[in-house]
Structure 1
Amino acid sequence: MKTRFILGSTLAVFLLLCGGTSKVMAQKNIDKMAAELEKRDDVAINSVTKRDSKTRKVVKVVKSFSLKDE
Structure 2
Amino acid sequence: MRSVLTCPQCGHAEAIEMPLDHCLFFHECTGCGEILRPRSGDCCVFCSYGSMKCPPKQTEGGTCSAERSPGL
Range of TM-score over shorter length: under 0.3
Greater per-residue strand proportion: 1
What is the TM-score of this pair, normalised by structure 1? 0.18
Larger relative contact order (CA 8 Å, sep ≥ 6): 2
